[in-house]
Structure 1
Amino acid sequence: VREEEDTILKPSDILGLEEREFYLMTYSGLFRGRSLDVSPLYLEIRFPDLAAES
C-alpha cells in the first residue's frame, strides 16, 4: 500500500468561507457545513478578581 499526501484543503478554501460556514475533518472524511442562526447570548459571566485575593 502506497500512501500519497494530497492537499485536501487549500488556504484559499478556508479563507473563502462565509459567516457560520465550517469544515469538519474526521476519520470518515471531510465535510463542509453551515451552522444555524442563534439568538444573542443573555448570560453574563463574572470572573473572580484573583489579584484582590492575594
Structure 2
Amino acid sequence: MINLFNFKWKEAMKNGYKLITMRKVLIYQQQKKGSIYQRSTLMASSIIFKTLPKN
C-alpha cells in the first residue's frame, strides 16, 4: 500500500507540470467564457432546484 502510494506520488510529481499547465488553460478558458459558464451553472442549479420535491 505504501509502495503503491509512493509510486503514485512520484508519477504525480512527474506529471505535475502537465497538470499545472492544463489547469492554467482551463482557468483561462473559464475566464474567457465566464459569462457563458456562469449562465449555464445558474441554469443547471435552477433546473435542479425545480426538480427537487417541494416539502
TM range (shorter): under 0.3
> Is the radius of gyration larger for structure 1 or structure 2?
1
Q: TM-score by structure 1 length?
A: 0.27
**Higher helix residue share:** 2
Q: Which has the higher contact order (CA 8 A, sep 6+)?
A: 1
